[in-house]
Amino acid sequence: MGIFNPLYDAISWVILLFHGLFEPIFGAESGVTWSLAIIFLVVLIRIILIPLFVKQIKSQRALTVLQPEMKAIQQKYKDDRQKQSEEMMKLYKKHGTNPLASCFPLLAQAPIFFALFTVLNGIAQDVPRGVLSQADVDSAANARFFGAPIAATFLMGAPDIEKLGGTPATVKIITLVMIILMSASTFITQRQLMVKGMPKNDGQPNMMVQQQKIMLYLFPIIFAVTGINFPVGVLLYWLTTNLWTMGQQFYVIKRNPTPGSPAYFELEAKRAKKAGNPQSTEPTNNGSVAVEGSDEQSATDVKGQRQQPKRDKGKQSKKKKKR
Angle, vertex CA 226, rays to CA 225 and CA 228, nearest 5? 90
Q: Which residues contact 200 (CB under 8 A, 6 or more apart)?
A: 260, 261, 262, 283, 287
Written as one letter, the residue type at 217 is Y
Whether 290 and 282 have beta carbons less than 8 Å apart is answered as: yes
Burial classification of residue 131, based on how many CB atoms lie within 10 Å of its CB (0-12 exposed, 13-18 middle, 19 or more buried):
middle
Quote the CA–CA distance of 81 and 86 in Å, as a whole number.
9
Specify the 3-state DSSP secondary structure of 283.
Answer: strand
Q: What pLDDT, on the 0 to 100 scale, is given for residue 207? A: 57
CB atoms within 10 A of CB 236: 24
For residue 30, the 8-state DSSP code is: -
291, β-bridge pairs: 281
Encode pLDDT of 226-254 as tens digits. 888 888 988 998 899 889 988 988 888 88
Where in the chain are the domains? Answer: 2-259, 260-291
Burial classification of residue 266, based on how many CB atoms lie within 10 Å of its CB (0-12 exposed, 13-18 middle, 19 or more buried):
middle
Whether 84 and 77 have beta carbons less than 8 Å apart is answered as: yes
Q: In sequence order, which ranges of 27-78 are alpha helices (DSSP H)?
A: 31-48, 50-65, 67-76
Quote the CA–CA distance of 146 and 1 in Å, as a whole number.
33
Which helix or strand (DSSP H or E) is residue 108 part of?
Answer: helix 104-124
Q: What b/e readout covers 194-206, taking b as 16+ CB neighbours within 10 angstroms?
A: eebbbbeeeeeeb
Per-residue pLDDT of the chain (323 residues; tens, 9 = 90+): 578 889 899 999 999 999 999 999 998 888 999 999 999 998 998 898 888 777 777 777 777 777 778 788 878 888 888 888 888 888 877 777 766 666 666 677 788 878 888 888 888 778 898 999 999 988 888 899 999 999 899 999 999 899 888 999 999 999 999 999 988 888 888 787 777 766 665 554 455 566 667 777 777 788 788 888 888 988 998 899 889 988 988 888 887 777 777 777 787 888 888 887 655 445 544 444 444 444 444 434 434 444 445 555 454 554 444 44
Whether 159 and 149 have beta carbons less than 8 Å apart is answered as: no
Which helix or strand (DSSP H or E) is residue 285 part of?
Answer: none
End-to-end CA distance of the chain: 118
Q: Which residues contact 192 (CB under 8 A, 6 or more apart)?
A: 246, 249, 250, 253
For residue 249, the 8-state DSSP code is: H
Beta strands in 48-195 (DSSP E): 144-145, 148-149
Q: Report how far apart, in Å, the C-alpha atoms of 14 and of each of 61, 114, 116 are.
A: 35, 15, 11
Q: Report how far apart, in Å, the C-alpha atoms of 256 and of each of 54, 131, 173, 236, 264 are.
A: 11, 42, 39, 29, 8
Q: What pLDDT, on the 0 to 100 scale, is given for residue 170? A: 95
Length of the chain: 323
Quote the CA–CA distance of 15 and 143 in Å, as a whole number.
14
Q: What pLDDT, on the 0 to 100 scale, is given for residue 149? A: 92
